[in-house]
Amino acid sequence: MNAQRIEGTVALVTGANRGIGQALIKALLARGAKKVYATARDPQSLGDLNDERLVVLPLDVTDADQIRAAAEAAPDVAIVFSNAGVALGRGIAEASVLGQARREMEVNYFGPLQLIQSFAPALARNGGGAVVTVGSAAGLTNIPFLPTYSASKAALHSLTQAARVLLGSQGTSVFGVYPGPVDTDMSRELEVPKASARDVASAILDGVEAGQEDILPDPFAVEFGRQFESSPKASERQMAAMVAALAAA
């Protein structure tokens, strides 16, 4: 795994209008990125981005045409941060779950897949570069109160592993990020300790610059990752116990 220098690089971030994506934009600029493509479904939601190094692009990661257009508009990109994600389904038996699960898979799995397909040629032309997929600890062990979201992140984890091997031949490094609870709109309802998006973004860039292929960017993720590596079954039980404790609170 090749370390990637942030200073002087050209990066693209999906889902840059809030949460980790917005924090990544700020962190990339603070570390001296040469250019940052900030993308969102609604470019106006990015607000007033006052930096001449920023280029705003419309990008819905479920729209193949927009992904291709973004790849054409960013031919100089060296690092792609696949960050856009959604969490919708809160159960498994409700009638609405299937539609929510399909939407989660479209955004959290098929979106990154199409992103990799479209940007891989540019990365190869630019010396290899890197893809950074922002997954979740829930992709390693399912969180029962977010069952379909967890499944979509598990699919992303599997895709990340395959891309690491298949894009390695063109010199492209593929980093997987597995945060725990982060203080964003997505986790607003969770009554658990949360890391700040700023700290998580900084840890992600630290991992990329260190060539760390699996990035655990917060204390929960570090501890959970240690448990998962030791015993996936114990991690499953730990997650079930945490959910039971939250339900009883």
Strand pairing category for 214-215 and 35-40: unpaired
Selecting among 109, 149, 178, 194, the annotated active-site residue is 149
117 within domain boundaries:
yes
- Report pLDDT for 242: 75
187 within domain boundaries:
yes
pLDDT mean across residues, the chain: 92
Give the integer Cα–Cα distance in Å for 149 and 232: 19
Residue 86: give the domain boundaries.
10-248
Give the mean pLDDT per block of 10 residues along the chain (249 residues).
91 95 96 96 81 94 97 97 91 86 97 98 96 96 91 98 96 97 72 86 97 96 89 82 71
- What's the domain count of the chain? 1
Half-sphere exposure for 207 (CA within 13 Å, toward CB): 28
22 within domain boundaries:
yes
Selecting among 37, 153, 178, 194, the annotated active-site residue is 153
Q: Tell me if 10 sits within 8 A of 76, measured CB to CB.
A: yes
- Reply yes or no on whether 178 is catalytic: no
197 within domain boundaries:
yes
- Reply yes or no on whether 153 is catalytic: yes
CATH of the domain at 81: 3.40.50.720
User: In 106-170, which residue ranges form alpha helices assigned H by DSSP?
Assistant: 111-125, 147-166
3 within domain boundaries:
no
4 within domain boundaries:
no
**Residues whose CB falls within 8 Å of the CB of residue 243, separated by 6 or more in sequence, listed in order:** 143, 144, 145
The model's pTM is 0.92
- Report pLDDT for 191: 66
Kind and range of the H or E element at 36? Answer: strand 35-40
